[in-house]
Chain A
Amino acid sequence: MTFTVYVPRDAGALSLGAGEVAQAIAREAKLRGLELQVIRTGSRGAYWLEPLVEVAGRHGRMAYGPVGIADVPGLFDAQFLSGGTHPLSLGLTDAIPWLASQQRLTFARVGVVDPASVADYVVHGGYQGLRRALAMSPESIVEAIIGSGLRGRGGAAFPTGIKWKTVLEQPAGQKYVTCNADEGDSGTFSDRMLMEGDPLSLIEGMTIAGVAVGAAQGYIYLRAEYPHALQALNEAIAAAYQARYLGSDVMGSGKRFDLEVRLGAGAYICGEETSMLESLEGKRGEVRVRPPLPAIKGLFGRPTIVNNVITLASVPTILHRGADYYAGYGMAKSRGTLPIQLAGNIKRGGLVERAFGLTLRELLYDYGGGSASGRPLRAVQVGGPLGAYIPASQFDTLVDYEALAAIGALLGHGGIVAFDDTVDMARMARYAMEFCAIESCGKCTPCRIGSTRGIEVIDRIIGGVETEGNVRRLEELCELMVQGSLCGLGGMAPFPVQSALRHFRGDFIARVRH
């Protein structure tokens, strides 16, 4: 008989040796004369168990992990191909509590399917959403997205359906669907995981968007730091063309939708939507003044949808299962599920997709298991380099757009970076300004100059020079940047600084010896 083994080709799993493990398993099987099929999947997102190896069994997939190449002969000795027990046995993958308690709608197939196989995608429910969409009017597709309550998962949380409606209402002609895959926030990796593990769901989501607003051309703007995602996307796009899910006659509907990946070049600012459009046009990624909105004058001056990877990859589920099904998850104005990313100093880091409404504490301790170092957690930064630092005293805050906004923080793209009690918050504040200075596009003064002045002032504070006056100066500078910057980079880079000053003032004032 032929055994089937699943080993991730996700970049994170590869970074821990999954590629070598896959090779070692194939080699060992050959040595033992066993027929073996190794399927390379995405990651389940439990990075603390990577490399996670799964074996197809009668009752489902059995998991083993974290597997090193030295473990491979022992796993064969223990008959792991037939689900044999071994010290690395984790039982049925679907029964691992960390995974079983999640509500995976958008990530349902990630880690399960072969990302390059359209057939596998379809077997696991893929292209049901597009099938439905093709039988609907553009207006009713847009209505379904509005009804689902889906908000932009890139960070801005703007209602997706409203954006689509604006593009739909523009006169017919050249329109575009663009995907913002410039996932630059530290602590975030859900876009990468999705693109590597289930790229066809993004492709399907973009195709549905094209059908909804009358756009025949899509672009995925991918950051250059993601070579594995680039490969996975290109393979999946080629497979979708081959199977006629892309091209001149999408699913026999007579409708055209073409899609290609364009690479960014290491500029954080290009995650800002107007800057991304400039970059897609082959220019410097400088932000545009709004209005006009991209939905009205976007790429090459044409009406354009700009959505994040997770937003677009959530669309097929909404069309397939219905708006009410999706809206049935979540709370208040945050509907559906959110793929949350646990990062930094955390014991069980990875991807947790749950309906909105968990507390930070549940995420950090129930899923995350506390710090990796074993020391107390002191702060978390939520929402990337422009997100506020939240002290342990506020860990009971709910993870939803409004609840975080109420404490002066933001959810952003759903990344949570944990820090233990060795963190120096004045240094982190300095880094926030430094990052802004490195990444500023230079178009507006508060961001371009303010960030550099910010570094200087914090350096003086760290050096103990006229602390009170410099802290006051820093607060004024932050206020000026927030009020006067053209876009979110300069306008939000002060958030981590201001929150560090608010919650960890002692790290700035009493610096007589760190």
Chain B
Amino acid sequence: MENLASEHGEAVRRITRHLRSRPGPLLEVLHAIQAELGYVPPAAVPLVAEELNLSRAEVHGVVSFYHYFRSTPPGTHTVSVCRAESCQAVGGEALAAHARQRLGVDFHQTTPDGRYSLEPVYCLGNCACSPAVMIDGQLHGRVTPERFDALLSGADTDRKR
């Protein structure tokens, strides 16, 4: 296992100590770690386990159970494409194929330049405006392949601004 950078280790301990007195704190701790570091580094697992008096297996079990928690750093932009039925009914699969082709990676992967992580999502609750895509927490509806490309360039521009 890679070592945790010391500033990451400090963040993990600070977050865990801050939240550990709350009832059933593990998910909250993991959310807070991912919010701060962008992911839950595997090397953070033993620290969290120690602080919460849980086994490493228990913490790892929870991290790996939930799709939302990632064990690798995300790209600059996270692009989530809905794959569920409502979006499939209006071209969602073609959009998913376009997204893969445009970014040159498959789902759950990050582009080699580190700019985009492509994630599947099973419903964004925007089903009256399918197909739906979320980019960096911003929801978009009725997304065509053309609009997808425009949104990607928009995300990059926002970043530069």
Shortest Cβ distance from A191 into chain B, in angstroms?
Answer: 8
Q: What is the count of residue pairs linking A and B with beta-carbon distances less than 8 angstroms?
A: 156
Shortest Cβ distance from A503 into chain B, in angstroms?
Answer: 16
Task: Pick the interface stretch among A12-20, A69-77, A353-361, A483-491.
Answer: A12-20
Complex: chain B residue closest to A349, CB-CB: B128
Complex: chain A residue closest to B90, CB-CB: A345
A11 CA to B66 CA, complexed, in Å: 24
Contact A265 B30 (CB under 8 A): yes
Chain A interface, number of residues (Cβ within 8 angstroms): 64
Contact B129 A186 (CB under 8 A): no
Contact with B along A157-185 (1 / 0, CB 8 A): 00000000000000000000000000111
Contact A186 B85 (CB under 8 A): yes
Contact with B along A332-345 (1 / 0, CB 8 A): 00000000011111
A303 CA to B142 CA, complexed, in Å: 43
Write out the residue numbers on chain B whose beta carbons fall within 8 Å of the beta carbon of A285.
65-66
Contact A262 B86 (CB under 8 A): no
Tell me, yes or no, whether B127 is within 8 Å of chain A by CB.
yes
Tell me, yes or no, whether A280 is within 8 Å of chain B by CB.
yes
Contact with A along B78-93 (1 / 0, CB 8 A): 0000101111111000
Contact A226 B125 (CB under 8 A): yes
A186 in complex: contacting residue of B23, B25, B69, B127, CB < 8 Å = B127
A418 in complex: contacting residue of B27, B66, B89, B129, CB < 8 Å = B89
Interface residues of A in 14-69 (CB under 8 A from B): 14-16, 45, 47-48, 50
Interface residues of B in 68-122 (CB under 8 A from A): 68-69, 82, 84-90, 121-122
A450 CA to B109 CA, complexed, in Å: 27
Contact B66 A267 (CB under 8 A): yes
Interface residues of A in 312-353 (CB under 8 A from B): 341-346, 349-351
Task: Pick the interface stretch among A138-146, A235-243, A248-256, A431-439.
Answer: A431-439
Contact B128 A350 (CB under 8 A): yes
Interface residues on B, range: 35 or more
Tell me, yes or no, whether B44 is within 8 Å of chain A by CB.
no
A59 CA to B122 CA, complexed, in Å: 43
Tell me, yes or no, whether A201 is within 8 Å of chain B by CB.
no
A431 CA to B96 CA, complexed, in Å: 14
Complex: chain B residue closest to A439, CB-CB: B122
Tell me, yes or no, whether A372 is within 8 Å of chain B by CB.
yes
Contact A282 B27 (CB under 8 A): yes
A300 CA to B28 CA, complexed, in Å: 16
Q: A residues touching B (Cβ–Cβ < 8 Å)?
A: 11-12, 14-16, 45, 47-48, 50, 183-189, 191-192, 224-228, 262-268, 279-286, 300, 341-346, 349-351, 372-373, 381, 385, 415, 417-420, 423, 428, 431, 435, 438-439, 441
- The 9 A-B residue pairs with the shortest CB-CB distance in the complex, in nearest-first order: A349-B128, A186-B84, A343-B127, A282-B26, A344-B89, A266-B68, A265-B66, A15-B141, A282-B24
Q: B residues touching A (Cβ–Cβ < 8 Å)?
A: 23-31, 58, 61-62, 65-69, 82, 84-90, 121-130, 132, 134, 137-142
Q: List 5 A-B contacts (CB under 8 A).
A: A16-B142, A187-B84, A265-B68, A385-B122, A428-B85
